[in-house]
């Protein structure tokens, strides 16, 4: 291949970054150059095995076929099809026994047959194979397809879709096979759920290649343009883009690993950018490619296969567009994704996942429950990670990470206790290390979650999500206050007992490696992020201070555990007792990223609670500082406060709904006031009629006499509607 190296070098080193990064032609050339180098390396590495006709040791070897044919389609370099032919025949001939019987090479493995079939058809169309060689390969395809007819594993999840798609790829490749009709009928039956709905999976390593197989199948059938019009297609492109980290990587959650499956995301994003003519998808693909290529240096076989597809889909004429994602946001929606990304200065990023099993895909879920012996997971591949923080990072340093994939069945990290969340159990364990009691139950117990609030309010981003656990008899609201300017995050867990009984609640965090600790706090930094047998070297620009406040009656402990294939440390605080119906419990956690080595114990005094005379868990006030400026926050943990107009509507009443939090008075579910150094006051709230601070009225809804619905004798005197959200900065002169 004749590569225009001088052009590439000039583009990389002499043009401004914004110029070359937006050039699709340069990205295509970089993909071609990387693929060419790594295909040759991987091909030559198998010379001995190939010569001996032994089965390849590299499980992902068949993906090279996809890289070879897609690169050849661009460059027409003859050696690429020669290598593809050699590998096709090697895989075929190493799968024939001494009696000449064709043995299915792929056996129970899936995900590879599409590459095999694509390469066969590509070479056959170019007369690279003799009729006898083509017959050998067709026999191998037939044997593999026939071997799959005894399983279904159906549903809108990766195994079901890929099994069906592979049968359809085989049917396209060998249309005269004896069982061709069975292949087609079974293939259509298995892909149907994925073609017509959402995936039921919540796992970072499975979503991308499930989606990629869906797209390549539609491409094979000539139906890709119609697929791209569907909301169920656009959703997954946007989901990936919205999750991108400041360092160009993607987070892991559910069944997931820190850097796995990125290559399929690159291919999918390239297709989105090229088809929709939207350069932000291409920028996301480029950032993801650059970050992972920098980590791996040499591309593994799986990446070569997926990036070959990316090369096929890339339209170099589409200009790249800047991708600006610097504000906290919901990740697409609160029905399927159920994720929130918190973003702020210094590359601060936190991923909050509240995804439950979901109210859709019931047919798939019930089948997986009946068929799959995987009691630790949601159906399917999702962990017990509802209302958990899957990631927190700042300045390129990961401070909190998710539980990872799994060590082995029955002992993996899918259970709730391995995630940064509230863990609940029934019963009354003996005194001692409570973690043994918590971790004894790794079975997934189904809960329901929903978003209550989310919003950007200037100095604070605010979220409230609710988890309902009918089995353990409680409801838990996790409230997050995130300061974009510093990354300070305050997490308030408000638990309402729905059914009386003996229970244990643990506010569980996984800092991984504790540097220092004191009473109710730890300072930590994970030295590396484990990826099964690999590890990502974690920079040390930041430490994380995790602090529990409001600690009456609670017990705080640390514990050495095994997590993410490595020794780790957990930090948790628990309550255990007999709890009565309608009791309220509260845990408050402060997460504070700190410049590495700069921890000052004085910061432990910066966040304080404001509690009323009853201190019954119905409200919570907080005081702290941002940029040296005082901030007061009020939270109505019991949202029924003020619902006192019982004979008419509206039910809410500003007089009985107003709560005092120091100088702050409001009927809001969430409100804050920041006293700025220039004398101005910044405030924001969610769902309020009025807000005053230090006697000054900052907000008040006008009277609306006609809003009352009911008997006049029972009307609320002060008839004012609720405003859903508000943010404003009041100059000094305007304060009354």
Q: 3-state DSSP call for residue 494?
A: strand
The pLDDT tens digits for 167-198 are: 999 999 999 999 999 999 999 999 999 998 99
The pLDDT tens digits for 632-677 are: 999 999 999 999 988 888 889 999 999 999 999 999 999 999 999 9
Residues 6+ apart with CB under 8 A from 125: none
User: Picking from 72-81, 526-535, 694-703, which range would have the lowest pLDDT averaged per residue?
Assistant: 526-535
pLDDT at res. 649: 86
Q: Which of 361-375, 387-401, 648-662 has the highest mean pLDDT?
A: 387-401
DSSP 706: G
Ordered DSSP codes for 251-281: ---SS--SSTTHHHHHHHHHHHHHHHT-HHH
Ordered DSSP codes for 137-149: HHHHHHHHHHHTT
Asked whether the beta carbons of 472 and 503 are under 8 A apart, the reply is: yes
Phi, psi at 172, each rounded to 5°: -70, -35
Stretch 714-730: mean pLDDT: 90
The pLDDT tens digits for 455-471 are: 999 999 999 999 999 99
Q: Which residues pair with 481 in a beta bridge?
A: 462, 490
Stretch 39-56: mean pLDDT: 96
- Tokens for 352, please give them: 């909050």
Q: What is the number of other CB atoms lying within 10 angstroms of the CB of residue 107?
A: 11
Q: What is the largest CA-CA distance in the chain?
A: 96
Rounded mean pLDDT of the chain? Answer: 93
Rounded Cα distance, 284 and 696, in Å: 47
pTM: 0.94
Of all residues in the chain, what percent carry a pLDDT higher than 70?
Answer: 96
Rounded Cα distance, 172 and 153, in Å: 22
CA distances from 322 to 17, 249, 266, 284 (A): 12, 17, 17, 9
Rounded Cα distance, 344 and 331, in Å: 16
pLDDT at res. 412: 80
Rounded Cα distance, 195 and 189, in Å: 10
Stretch 28-49: mean pLDDT: 97
The pLDDT tens digits for 223-258 are: 999 999 999 999 999 999 999 999 999 999 999 988
CA of residue 327 relative to chain centroid, distance = 17
Phi, psi at 141, each rounded to 5°: -60, -45
Nearest-Å Rg of the Cα atoms of the chain is 29
Per-residue confidence at 714, pLDDT binned at 50, 70, 90? confident
Asked whether the beta carbons of 356 and 497 are under 8 A apart, the reply is: no
Rounded Cα distance, 10 and 32, in Å: 17
Give the closest residue to 304 by CA, choosing from 91, 41, 105, 117: 41
The pLDDT tens digits for 410-466 are: 778 899 999 999 999 999 988 778 999 999 999 999 999 999 999 999 999 999 999
Give the closest residue to 165 by CA, choosing from 128, 213, 122, 202: 213
Per-residue confidence at 8, pLDDT binned at 50, 70, 90? very low
pLDDT at res. 614: 66
User: Token match 């869906």: residue?
Assistant: 214
Give the closest residue to 307 by CA, choosing from 36, 541, 9: 36
Give the torsion sign (CA, 696, 701, 702, 707).
negative
Query: Does a cis peptide bond (omega within 30 degrees of 0) precede residue 450?
Result: no
- Tokens for 232, please give them: 């169920």
- Between residues 479 and 651, the one the model is more confident about: 479
pLDDT at res. 613: 63
The pLDDT tens digits for 108-136 are: 888 899 999 999 999 999 999 999 999 99
Per-residue confidence at 713, pLDDT binned at 50, 70, 90? confident
Rounded Cα distance, 543 and 692, in Å: 37
pLDDT at res. 645: 86
pLDDT at res. 736: 60
Give the closest residue to 77 by CA, choosing from 148, 16, 126: 126
The pLDDT tens digits for 267-304 are: 999 999 999 999 999 999 999 999 999 998 999 999 99
């Amino acid at each position: 291949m004749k590569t225009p190296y001088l052009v590439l070098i000039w583009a990389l080193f002499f043009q401004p970054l914004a110029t070359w990064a937006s050039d699709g032609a340069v990205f295509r050339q970089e993909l071609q150059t990387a693929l060419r180098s790594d295909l040759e390396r991987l091909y030559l590495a198998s010379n001995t095995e190939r010569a001996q006709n032994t089965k390849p040791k590299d499980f992902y070897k068949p993906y090279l076929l996809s890289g070879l044919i897609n690169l050849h389609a661009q460059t027409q370099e003859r050696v690429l099809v020669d290598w593809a032919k050699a590998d096709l025949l090697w895989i075929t001939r190493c799968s024939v026994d001494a009696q000449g019987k064709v043995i299915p090479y792929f056996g129970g493995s899936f995900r590879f047959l599409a590459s095999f079939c694509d390469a066969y058809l590509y070479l056959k169309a170019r007369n690279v194979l003799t009729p006898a060689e083509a017959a050998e390969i067709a026999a191998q395809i037939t044997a593999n397809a026939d071997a799959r007819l005894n399983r279904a594993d159906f549903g809108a999840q990766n195994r079901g879709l890929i099994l069906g798609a592979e049968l359809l790829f085989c049917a396209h490749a060998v249309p005269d096979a004896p069982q061709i009709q069975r292949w087609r009928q079974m293939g259509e039956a298995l892909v149907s759920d994925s073609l017509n709905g959402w995936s039921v999976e919540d796992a970072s390593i499975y979503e991308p290649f499930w989606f990629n197989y869906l797209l390549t199948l539609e491409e094979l059938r000539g139906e890709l343009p119609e697929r791209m019009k569907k909301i169920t297609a656009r959703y997954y492109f946007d989901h990936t883009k919205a999750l991108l980290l400041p360092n160009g990587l993607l987070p892991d959650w559910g069944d997931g690993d820190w850097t796995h499956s990125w290559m399929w995301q690159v291919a999918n994003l390239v297709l989105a950018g090229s088809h929709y003519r939207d350069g932000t998808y291409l920028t996301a693909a480029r950032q993801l490619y650059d970050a992972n290529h920098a980590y791996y240096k040499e591309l593994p076989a799986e990446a070569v296969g997926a990036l070959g597809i990316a090369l096929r889909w890339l339209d170099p004429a589409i200009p790249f567009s800047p991708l600006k994602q610097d504000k906290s946001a919901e990740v697409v929606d609160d029905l399927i994704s159920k994720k929130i990304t918190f973003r702020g200065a210094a590359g601060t990023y936190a991923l909050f996942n509240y995804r439950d099993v979901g109210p859709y895909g019931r047919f798939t879920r019930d089948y997986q429950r009946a068929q799959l012996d995987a009691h630790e997971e949601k159906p399917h591949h999702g962990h017990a990670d509802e209302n958990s923080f899957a990631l927190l990072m700042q300045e390129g340093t990961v401070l909190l990470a998710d539980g990872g994939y799994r060590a082995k069945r029955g002992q993996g990290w899918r259970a709730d206790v391995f995630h940064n969340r509230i863990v609940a159990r029934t019963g009354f364990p003996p005194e001692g290390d409570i973690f043994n009691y918590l971790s004894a139950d790794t079975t997934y117990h189904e809960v329901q979650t929903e978003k209550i609030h989310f919003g950007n309010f200037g100095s604070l981003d605010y979220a409230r999500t609710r988890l309902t656990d009918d089995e353990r008899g409680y409801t838990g609201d996790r409230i997050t206050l995130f300061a974009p300017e510093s990354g300070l995050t305050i997490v308030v867990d408000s638990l309402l007992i729905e059914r009386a009984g003996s229970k244990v609640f643990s506010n569980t965090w996984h800092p991984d490696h504790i540097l220092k600790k004191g009473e109710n706090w730890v300072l930590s930094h994970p030295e590396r992020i484990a990826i099964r047998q690999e590890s990502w070297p974690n920079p040390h620009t930041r430490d994380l201070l995790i602090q529990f406040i409001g600690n009456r009656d609670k017990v705080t402990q640390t514990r050495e555990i095994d997590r993410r294939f490595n020794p780790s440390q957990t930090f948790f605080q628990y309550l255990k007792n007999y709890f009565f119906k309608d009791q309220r419990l509260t845990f408050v956690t402060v997460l504070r990223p700190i410049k590495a080595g700069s921890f000052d114990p004085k910061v432990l005094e910066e966040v304080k609670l404001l509690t009323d005379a009853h201190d019954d868990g119905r409200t919570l006030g907080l005081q702290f500082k941002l940029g040296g400026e005082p901030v007061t926050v009020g939270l109505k943990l019991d949202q029924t406060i003020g619902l006192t107009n019982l004979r008419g509507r509206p039910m809410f009443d500003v007089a009985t709904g107003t709560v005092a939090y120091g100088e702050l008075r409001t009927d809001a579910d969430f409100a804050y006031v920041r006293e700025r150094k220039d004398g101005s006051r910044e405030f924001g709230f969610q769902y309020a009629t009025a807000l005053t601070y230090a006697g000054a009225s900052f907000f008040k809804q006008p009277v609306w006499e006609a809003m009352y619905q009911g008997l006049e004798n029972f009307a609320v005197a002060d008839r004012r509607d609720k405003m859903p959200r508000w943010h404003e900065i009041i100059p000094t002169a305007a304060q009354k």
